Structure 1
Amino acid sequence: MKNRVIFALVLCTAYALCSTATASESIEQNLTAVRVYWSKSSETDLVTGFAGDFDASRESNYLIGANWGRKYSDTLFGLPLPMTANVGVQYFNERGHQNDAYGVTAFIKAHYDWRLPFSQKHVRLGLGEGLSYVTRVPLSEQRDFAKRGGAQSEKLLNYLEWTIDLPLRQFASIDELIQGRVEELNLGFFVFHRSSVFGLFAESRGGVNFMGLGLEARF
């Protein structure tokens, strides 16, 4: 019963996010984005993981996922940071250590285009915050909690998403291939992070990073 209530909470959050995005559709055209990604479990902490430090978990487990997002604002607290509402689904491959699992995420995400020094090129940074629900807690996440006095994780945790994307239409050869098909095509670094926020969502602090690559199409 508890799991059903938690899952319903995530779905309600996702519905609220999508409703907000739909109501704001008049902001501009071409607001929809779809991202597919693959990432592997890492032992690194949140900050070093966001910086690209990767230390593969001994389980070698990984996830495959897809996100759908829609822009709902051009600013965040008055700052020029475009905001999107997003929902995602994931498949967790546990490599035979336990049964595989499925997950769902609902989150908002801020975006920032950063021009590279001494260049006309830019990268697109993204930071998302929301909720993550899984049908079975990944084993690498279980280990991270267990080493803190035998604590246990929860299926519902806080979710952070970090992306560093390279917009491919900056390159003439690629622009010619995708022009008229998509507004933008981004390829980049992707971090999927679940955590208890220092014990807010579980009995102890703990979490897990999955780090990998993502491909996003904006329409």
Structure 2
Amino acid sequence: MTQLSSRFLSVIFIILLPLDALAQGSYRNLDPEDRSGELSLGFSLRPQTSPYLGEDYRRDWQPMFIYTGETFFFNTNEAGWHLIDNDDWQLDLYAGYFYGGYNEHSIFWSETGRDDDDALDGMSRRDAWESGFALTRKTDYGRFKLDLNADISGAHEGYTASAEWSKVFRFNRWQVEPWFAYQLFNDDKSNYYFGVREDEATDTRNAYKIDEATDNWEIGTAFRYQAAQHHYFGLNLYYTIYDNKILDSPIVEESTILTANINYRYEFNDLSNPGPDGDVYNFFFNNPNPWSMRVAYGYTTDSSFMDIVRGEFERNDDGTSMGSVFLSRQLTERFMWLPIEGWAQAGVARRFENDIQGDFNEYVFAFKAYFTKFPWSNTVKTRFGFAEGLSYATKVPAVEQRRNDDRDRNTSHLLNYLDYSWDVSIGDIFRQKDLKDCFFGFSIHHRSGIFASSDLYGNVNGGSNVNTLYVECIRS
């Protein structure tokens, strides 16, 4: 594998990594034995009480992207590889995102019940990328897991060790999974998120250092329900208890956290047919469904997403631009019982920053829906498309940096991705049958923090838009 392809796969892996709250409980929206190889799209709502002084609760919304392969997997709260997976043992190498950070300028914080006298004023902590191993023993009495992970992003530079018991009870369309876990944060991690440095001390906030590991506990239950072939609902309730050394911090008011997670996902499982040789279906390596390649180029604009939809295409003064290549694979011919095609897509974009900063890459994973049943489509096939996904930029685009600096807001490399497009068949326009499945069109390449509503995107309020023209060809 070339260095470029290795780097691309690594970044695609990163943008599909998990999301978690300050508490360590997972979304648990999947059967832990699911190896179906299916892709799912969904969303999650998470209200949570907060341990911090002056803050009553947090709330969060975020999309979910899921793949349950026999070897590789990703879920809203974890991604990685099953190194060992049999009836008795499971060993996973995984990576994930720990949400313990905070930022005093975040809209997320100001809208969730803080007092005017902010206990965290002038303080800031980063979230962390963490990676590790999880060893699970499978028995009739449940799953017993040992887990060890460490910070790989240079945020808290600590580690977490945990031991967990869980068991899934299955009742037709229902699943109930209770669990109990012990978690050990080492002193680096505990002190980073709950300590107060000397230069952060004020008249009302003393310096505080946690110089030893903290013992934390968690207990919860997940409820899962399959309503129909494609529709899955989940409710996860869990209670986290922090060590007294955390409670003694001057910025901490409560040692317990109650979290609820409500989630829904749509599983694309109606095209999981055997491959052409009768082999077991695999989305990546044995998939008879059509695929496509799209090549696009366009210019950055200061117009909002809705202004562009209404017909405003003004280029911004920075003179920045973007080129991209996307690969897509069809998931379904009818989405939500409607005549809408569903596709999974991954792309690489090159951001050209016009000497404002160095050029850089952006990596995208998304689900895209196409509507094609227009009255004139038998004459000139026309598609309207809309995509939802994740965008990871190796640098923050200049237009995003400028806008957030003006408003004194934080930025993020990882943001929500939307794509809005219209295209027509080149073959139908020029009466060339061999080009019938090639399309020329316009799209909006959009990155945003969803109005600072999601912890996943660093509570960023704002983003960027690029108007692009593209050619896309479909192949069977």
Using structure 1 for the length normalisation, give the TM-score. Answer: 0.83
Range moving further from structure 2, 10-19 or 102-111: 10-19
Q: 1:72-111 residue pairs with structure 2 within 5 A?
A: 72-111=331-370
Structure 1 stretch displaced more, 161-170 or 184-193: 161-170
Residues of 1 paired with 2:390 and 2:292: CA distance? 19
- Quick one: which of 401, 406, 413 aligns to 1:155? 413
1:103 Cα offset (Å) = 0.9
**Partner residue of 2:15?**
10
Query: Residue deviations 1:71-120, cap 9 Å, x none?
Result: 01122221111100000001101010111110100000000115367x94
Match of 1:68 in 2: 327
Q: Distance in 2 between matches of 1:17 and 1:32?
A: 20
What letter corresponds to residue 197 of structure 1 in structure 2?
A: I
**SS state at 2:412 partner:** coil
Q: 1:7 to 1:85 in 2, by over 3 A?
A: closer
Q: Which residue of 1 aligns with 2:474?
A: 218
- The answer to whether structure 1 residue 188 and structure 2 residue 239 are counterparts is no
The letter of the residue matching 1:161 is D
Letter in 2 for 1:157: L
Q: Deviations over 1:133-190 (max 9, x none)?
A: 0000110111222232x11210000000111001112135433xxx2xx660000101
* Corresponding residue of 1:26: 273
Residues 10 and 131 in structure 1, CA contact (< 8 A), matched pair in contact too: yes
Equivalent residues of 1:116, 1:123 under 8 A apart: no
Richer in helix (by share): 1
Q: 1:132 to 1:75 in 2, by over 3 A?
A: same
RMSD over equivalenced CA pairs, Å: 3.1
For structure 2, which runs of at least 5 residues remain unmatched after alignment? 1-9, 19-64, 73-266, 275-286
Q: Which has the higher contact order (CA 8 A, sep 6+)?
A: 1
Identity of aligned residues (%): 23
Larger Rg: 2
Relative to 1, partners in 2 of residues 1:7 and 1:69: Cα closer, same or farther, differing over 3 Å?
Answer: closer
Query: What's 1:55 paired with?
Result: 314
Change (3 A) 1:209 1:26: same
Determine helix, strand or coil for the equivalent of 2:368.
strand
- 3-state DSSP of counterpart to 2:354: coil
Give the alignment's TM-score, normalised by structure 2. 0.40
Aligned counterpart, 1:197:
450
Contact 2:333 2:341 in 1 (8 A): yes
Could you say if the C-alpha distance between residues 209 and 17 of structure 1 is closer, same or farther in structure 2, counting changes exceeding 3 Å? farther
Q: How far apart are residue 7 of structure 1 and its match?
A: 6.3
> Match for 2:424 among 163, 166, 171?
166
Could you tell me how far apart the structure 1 residues matched to 2:375 and 2:307 are?
21
**What is the rounded CA distance, in whole Å, between the counterparts of 2:388 and 2:382 in structure 1?**
20
Q: Are the equivalent residues in 1 in contact too, given 2:300–2:321 (CA < 8 A)?
A: yes
Do the aligned partners of residues 69 and 17 (structure 1) sit closer, same or farther apart at CA in structure 2, a change above 3 Å counting?
farther
| Cα deviation code 1:50-88 (max 9, x no counterpart) | 333112111110111000000011222211111000000
8 Å contact from structure 1 (residues 38, 214) kept in 2: yes
Task: Flag the 1:59–1:8 CA change in 2: closer, same or farther, 3 A.
Answer: same
Pick aligned residue for 1:209 from 450, 454, 465: 465
**Pair 1:42-2:301 in alignment:** yes
- How far apart are the structure 2 equivalents of 1:165 and 1:62? 21
User: Which residue is 2:52 aligned to?
Assistant: none
Q: Distance in 2 between matches of 1:215 and 1:7?
A: 23
Code of the aligned partner of 1:156: L
The answer to whether the 8 A contact 1:61-1:94 is kept is yes
CA–CA separation in structure 2 for the residues paired with 1:114 and 1:125: 10
